[in-house]
Amino acid sequence: MTVSEGSAAIPLLSVRKLTKHFGSFAACSGIDLDIAPGEIHALLGENGAGKSTFVKMLFGILDPTEGDILWNGERVAIRSPGTARTLGIGMVFQHFSLFEALTVAENIALSLDPKIPLAKIAEEASTLSKAYGLPLDPKAHVADLSVGERQRIEIVRALLQNPKLIILDEPTSVLTPQEADKLFETLFQLRAEGRSVLYISHRLEEVQRICDGATVLRHGRVTGRCDPKRETAASLARMMVGSEVAAVSRDTSAALGDVRIEVAGLNADARTPFAISLRDINLKVRAGEVLAIAGVAGNGQGELFDALSGEYPVTSNEAISIRGRPVGRLGINARRLLGAGFVPEERHGHAAVSALPLSDNLLLARSRSDRKAFLGGGALGVIRHNAVRAATRRICEAMDVRKSGEDPVAGALSGGNLQKFIVGRELDRQPAVLVVNQPTWGVDAGAASRIRQALVDLARAGSAVVVISQDLDEIFEVATNIAVISEGRLSASYPAGEMSRERIGLLMGGVHDSTQPGAVHAH
């Protein structure tokens, strides 16, 4: 680590006993942290560990309830992002704080001195972005850019203010491995210039690769401080999660049955200017198989899910078939009646109505497929509340859904518990085909492991399962076969044992093999 004389004793940033309460809930309690000049410091923690709350206090978006922030040894009150920037703190947000309707230059101008003319900003942004290997067109509208390009805007915007400390919140969650490598080079360049970086992540291998020091958070408290290069991934994970996470057990030798869901030559045009068109998608999933579809966010995963589930039927009826029947033009309920189940990505507002109780959410999803069980009175469709409640109880027990009260509203459950319920809602029907999109996005490790195990068990019981996921760990845990989606095209699928992270990374970046369907099926 490079420490210049004089500054050795005084860290660039020191945080002492920083605490934030939301009502009675302590998002952060008594956090201590030091960052030296020229250090890349990791802030590790699971979703909900309090990382985002912590950095929002550093950047003046949230007011701390208690505690001190020291900048170059002096106590400072950071009341607004403006103050933070004046001190020399720059921030790259996890959920981009960009304005889609504005151009790149306009977006950057908003965080700079209003006296600098727009033309000069555009020019500087262009020069700086080239110097750090992050090419950008200042005149482009953000709405037209990819996620990777959007992140570059955030980084360039932070760099233009010549910050001493740059905070990056989960920067690689939207990048391909190759794009991430480029980002790391930029970070090393910044460190060489004597700037410090606070790197927030839950990806252990990255942290071990690039960070000089790490602070681990769990439930809003510091549970460990270490040099990540001297730790193992397992010991870091223990600090993050608190206990060893149960590994998903699976049986790879099982023979596969008949084809349950098949897609042949599927094309679907983008519905909105920001959506992706699907081009010539081919896939086959057999009974007993888990096909995992990897890819960086925004490469057509949502669109593929919509086509498979029938949320947006496609033009060719023959392009998709479930259990041998063409279903391309059928809607979601008709496909459910054929024995398929679907779990979309967004928990709130898509998979579940947050304001309704779990039993109503169950009924909404299955009122057609389980009409006989849940509805009485013939055409009147009178709700059989007892049957619905019993099924809700059954699902919650099967999936270990932790909730307060008998039948709380969906919005009252934590992300992990609601996700367990939503997946359990489909598993309860023993579907012949299950398609899930990002099944464990933003849920805690315990719930994620429970859900993955349930998916593997379902396949073992003889169903065909399609898992669309951005999480490579998850993909390797559950998959029998792996395919990669990139820019609306799906690669051929390969047995999980033959795939490596590097190879998936290449496919994610759009390096397609010319081998089309048929490359699979070597079991």
Contact residues for 131 (Cβ-Cβ < 8 A; gap 6+): none
Among 32, 66, 100, 205, binds another protein (CB under 8 A): 100
Instruction: Output the CA–CA distances (angstroms, integers) from residue 189 to 126, 152, 159, 197, in the order listed.
Output: 18, 15, 12, 11
Does 106 engage in binding with another protein (CB under 8 A)? yes
Mask of contacts with another protein, 107-146, x by CB under 8 A? --xxx--x--------------------------x-xx--
Instruction: Output the CA–CA distances (angstroms, integers) from residue 357 to 70, 80, 139, 418, in the order listed.
Output: 46, 39, 47, 11
- Per DSSP (E only), the strands in 239-329 are 259-268, 278-286, 290-294, 320-322, 325-326
Binding range to another protein, per CB under 8 A, among 43-51, 97-105, 236-244, 406-414: 97-105
Nearer to another protein, 178 or 277 (CB): 277
Can you list the alpha helix ranges (DSSP code H) found in 47-176? 51-58, 81-87, 104-109, 118-131, 147-160
- Per DSSP (E only), the strands in 287-427 are 290-294, 320-322, 325-326, 340-343, 375-376, 382-383
Q: What are the DSSP calls for 35-75, one per residue?
A: E-TT-EEEEE--TTSSHHHHHHHHTTSS--SEEEEEETTEE
Sign of the dihedral defined by the CA atoms of residues 58, 63, 66, 69, in that order: positive
Q: Give dist(CA 500, CA 99) in Å, integer.
A: 37
Among 37, 48, 60, 64, binds another protein (CB under 8 A): 60
Binding range to another protein, per CB under 8 A, among 33-41, 132-140, 266-274, 404-412: 266-274
Nearer to another protein, 7 or 83 (CB): 83
Nearest to 173 by CA among 56, 289, 52: 52
Nearest to 91 by CA among 151, 137, 145, 46: 151
Binding range to another protein, per CB under 8 A, among 24-32, 95-103, 320-328, 455-463: 95-103
In this structure, are residues 96 and 150 in contact, taking their beta carbons and an 8 Å threshold? yes
Q: Residue 499 phi/psi, 5° resolution?
A: -100, 145
Does 272 engage in binding with another protein (CB under 8 A)? yes
Counting residues that bind another protein (by CB under 8 A) gives 27
Among 27, 62, 122, 153, binds another protein (CB under 8 A): 62
Token pair in block for residue 65: 């309830």
Smallest distance, Å, CB 135 to another protein? 23
Among 2, 3, 8, 63, binds another protein (CB under 8 A): 63
Smallest distance, Å, CB 53 to another protein? 10
Does 373 engage in binding with another protein (CB under 8 A)? no
Smallest distance, Å, CB 272 to another protein? 6
Segment 143-162, which members bind another protein (CB under 8 A)? 143-144
Can you list the alpha helix ranges (DSSP code H) found in 348-436? 358-366, 371-374, 385-399, 415-427
Binding range to another protein, per CB under 8 A, among 56-64, 127-135, 185-193, 475-483: 56-64
Among 99, 131, 246, 402, binds another protein (CB under 8 A): 99
Token pair in block for residue 43: 């802030």
Smallest distance, Å, CB 422 to another protein? 26
Among 41, 85, 152, 218, binds another protein (CB under 8 A): 85
Nearer to another protein, 145 or 292 (CB): 145
Binding range to another protein, per CB under 8 A, among 4-12, 34-42, 76-84, 159-167: 76-84
> Which residues would be at the binding site for another protein (CB under 8 A)?
60-63, 80-82, 85, 93, 96-102, 106, 109-111, 114, 141, 143-144, 272-274
